[in-house]
Amino acid sequence: MLSRLATALVPAFGPLTVTTDPAAELAPGSIIAANHTSLADPAIVLAALDRLGLRPAVLATAGLWRVPLLGAALVREGHIPVRRGTARAGEALDGAARALAAGRSVLIYGEGGLPHRRDSGEAPPERFRSGLARLAAATGAPVLPLGQAGARRLSSGSAAKQVAGLATGPLRRPGFHVHLGAPVRAADPAVLHAAVTAAWQVAAGVPAAA
């Protein structure tokens, strides 16, 4: 439901470009690691992955499960709540490992949260938390680095600016670009961060460092 809904709604706010590395392999049981920049980017990422034939289980903040209707959809589709700062925080990685073992892809945001910026500009992914590397180490699953750009032009800044951005999005029609990189088999946080950064550079049109 959520992937289909994202696929239907995102084009109303702006054009979505989806590209893949020639070596990208959309194998079942892969970890998809994305950069997180905006409250809008999960919908953009899900729409892009749906276009590629992927409907992953998503690790997302547990508060979303308390939202009427949305919470029921998250449970029904097997998405995974993340209860940060609680004794149950580790359950998210256990749930992700079970989904991967069952052959389902899992979407995780390496940064674990949104950047503390109010501007709408693009910037490289911030420092990753340990969850992505721990999941890769525990499961041996390949990591597909995903970079997305453009979401902050739709929604960023204060709550009022985010609402205004969404309201005016269909008129402004900012462009969105999602790029899926080649799989990485590593559990090194630096290697994983570099791979997602490289995918983001493609999506954002930023030249790679020499």
Q: Of 192, 83, 202, 189, nearest to 150 (Cα)?
A: 202
CB 99 within 8 A of CB 57: yes
**Structure-derived torsion over alpha carbons of residues 62, 65, 66, 68, reported in degrees to the nearest 10:** 160
Residue 127: helix, strand or coil by DSSP? coil
Distance CA 84, CA 170 (A): 34
**pLDDT value, residue 198:** 96
Task: Express each pLDDT in 100-134 by its tens digit.
Answer: 999 999 999 999 888 888 888 898 999 999 999 99
The rounded percent of the chain whose pLDDT value lies above 90 is: 62
- Residue 168 contacts by C-beta under 8 Å, 6 or more apart in sequence? none
**Structure-derived torsion over alpha carbons of residues 130, 131, 137, 139, reported in degrees to the nearest 10:** 180
Given a cut of 70, whether residue 210 has pLDDT beyond it is no
- The average confidence (pLDDT) of the chain is 90
Angle at which helices 91-101 and 131-139 cross, to 10°:
40
Secondary structure element (H or E) that encloses residue 204, with its range:
helix 189-204
Tokens (6 digits) for 114: 């949104």
Per residue in 186-199, is it b (16+ CB within 10 Å) or e — as a string? bbebeebbebbbbb
Residue 134: helix, strand or coil by DSSP? helix
CB 28 within 8 A of CB 72: no
Highest mean pLDDT among 83-97, 157-171, 193-207: 193-207
